[in-house]
A and B are shown apart, each in its own frame.
Chain A
Amino acid sequence: MIHSLFINPFIKLIDSLGATALFLFDAVIATKNVRHLFSKIFNQVFVIGAQSIFVILLIGLFTGLVLGLQAFYAMSMFEAQGMLGSLISLTLIREMGPVLTAIMVAARAGSAMTAEIGVMRISDQVDALEVMDIHPIGYMVSPRLWAALISFPLLTAIFNIIGLIGGYLSACVLLGLNAGRYMSGIESSVMLSDVTGCFLKSLVFAVIVILICCYQGYFVHTRRDSKGPVAVGNATTSAVVTSCVLILIADYVLSSFLL
């Protein structure tokens, strides 16, 4: 009873963590043997980064608009509308920017990654790579990892800027807050440590998303719950859900250290 409830799941968890860590290690080590690495990274920056810009702009803008709207009325109760710039900028830069960007990229590019690698696995394409002496992890995972480390901080920066513009539109243009007070609130409260913390989070989230999404696709054939195309579907769902949960857990842990 104790075994099935606690010990077995715990052993399974440790086993999965170990396998995932080895997978990350392989992806990093395999980088040195990847031919045409820069062009492969560039392609992936386009897929993970450039193709995600529109959705990041949209989500960032509406997040800023809603934050401005809600915070304006909440602050009005304490006659503290002047703090709106501080509140929106710190909320966006410290928490919402990196977290929402990572979740959106996991949902958009991460799911596509799992599905693509999963299909490659079930249709012998991974075996074909191995037989051609092309390291499958080096070919499929390493360029995505480095591309994500480039793209995530850039997307997060875009999200933060567009979010601040959304907050400005909401609070200053629509609700009449003085633009100078909004801007000075941002200027006085955002420290360099907030920005570096924001980028640190986005780098950690990048590793989490790529690791989980690629791992789920790469080992889709070992799933016990399903096989074939159904397994690819299940792996995709599992990759997005696991990534989102781990992003939130990592965010809490990182915030605890950064504050």
Chain B
Amino acid sequence: MDSLLQKTWDIRIENLSAGYKDKTIIKSMNAHIPARKITAVLGESGCGKTTLLKVFLGLIPVQNGKLYIADKDIAALSEKSFRFMRRRFGVLFQDGALLSSLNLIDNVALPLREHTKLPQKIINKAVLETLDLVGLKEAAYRYPSELSGGMRKRAGLARAIITEPPLLFYDEPTSGLDPITSMKMDQLLLDMQSYYQNMTTVLITHDMNSVKRVADHILLVKDGIAHFNGTKEDFFSSSDAYIKNFLEQQENQEQKHTLPDNPEVRKALDEWLKSQ
């Protein structure tokens, strides 16, 4: 357990293959996610980013190769050691994944209540401080269904960091948020990194603006393999054709789209409107 108690954790991926019963999604991937940095995992839809996250979290087993987290081969760990390791992960799921039957204070307190013997008073104090950190102290007694998407993500982040994890995963933290809320979320992510300086952050995202603002390191996934693994500066100045094309595509997403022209549908809609 010695390396599991070390303060900084990194991730090494060596010839890793993983996927579902009938399909291998991650194919002999090699990469390194450095400790104490924010690493953005990028790639087109369906390239294997979410599968990779699920492999990190132990929700999908490794088929081949090695995955080292904090210098431990996770496939070789005993169930007890793996559970101990996973207890030290912080995860912000795409929509927060807050338990709908609990209010915010109970949601954020959950890991402490389930894993520690701290008195209720201390847990409540810690929870309120963490909710204050993410700007949700006023909403402490509200239920997830009463919150906006951005608030749910911030509450999910509060739950993820309450145990001060050495490894924090964000799954699309800015998806579905307006640009201003996205920027606030990014700032929150940077604040977390400066507050918990030993934390290693893995950010799964499509949002290039967010990547430019927060990432130190990039892992670009293409068809289940690591196409690029290096610093943000090297990534954005790369002359690689695929990276250039990828960045171009991301920029073009903001350009005007050509809408489909379907005369039959338009005619039917006109007739429907006339019949009203």
Q: What residues make up the interface of A, taking CB atoms closer than 8 Å to B?
A: 35-36, 116, 119-120, 123-125, 127-134
- Chain B 54-68: CB-based contact to A (< 8 A → 1; otherwise 0): 000111000000000
**Do B115 and A119 have beta carbons less than 8 Å apart?**
no
Q: Is the interface of A mostly helix, strand, loop or mixed?
A: helix
Give CA–CA (A169, B260) in the complex, Å. Answer: 72
- The 5 A-B pairs with the shortest beta carbon distances in the complex, nearest first, are A128-B97, A124-B97, A133-B87, A124-B93, A131-B91
**Do B95 and A116 have beta carbons less than 8 Å apart?**
no
**Do B57 and A123 have beta carbons less than 8 Å apart?**
no
**Do B59 and A130 have beta carbons less than 8 Å apart?**
yes
Instruction: Give 7 A-B contacts (CB < 8 Å), ordered by A residue.
Output: A120-B100, A124-B97, A125-B97, A128-B97, A129-B99, A131-B91, A132-B111
Interface residues on chain B, size class: 20 to 34
Number of A-B contacts (CB under 8 A): 49
- Most A CB contacts (10 A, CB to CB) among B87, B99, B101 go to B99
Give CA–CA (A129, B113) in the complex, Å. Answer: 13
Beyond A35-B114, A35-B115, A131-B91, 14 additional pairs, beta carbon < 8 A? A35-B113, A123-B95, A123-B97, A124-B94, A127-B57, A127-B59, A127-B93, A128-B98, A131-B57, A131-B58, A132-B114, A133-B83, A133-B114, A134-B111
- Chain B 110-121: CB-based contact to A (< 8 A → 1; otherwise 0): 110111000000
In the complex, whether B89 has a CB less than 8 A from a CB of chain A is yes
Q: What residues make up the interface of B, taking CB atoms closer than 8 Å to A?
A: 57-59, 83, 86-87, 89, 91, 93-95, 97-101, 110-111, 113-115
**Do A132 and B110 have beta carbons less than 8 Å apart?**
yes
Q: Which A residues are CB-close (under 8 A) to B86?
A: 131, 133
Give CA–CA (A131, B171) in the complex, Å. Answer: 13
Q: Which A residues are CB-close (under 8 A) to B97?
A: 123-125, 127-128
Give CA–CA (A134, B113) in the complex, Å. Answer: 11
A110 to chain B, nearest CB (A): 16
Give CA–CA (A84, B101) in the complex, Å. Answer: 47
B120 to chain A, nearest CB (A): 11
B226 to chain A, nearest CB (A): 23
A256 to chain B, nearest CB (A): 40
Residue of A nearest to B156 (CB): A128
Q: Which B residues are CB-close (under 8 A) to A35?
A: 113-115
B206 to chain A, nearest CB (A): 18
- Most B CB contacts (10 A, CB to CB) among A35, A124, A133 go to A133
**Do A124 and B95 have beta carbons less than 8 Å apart?**
yes
Give CA–CA (A132, B83) in the complex, Å. Answer: 9
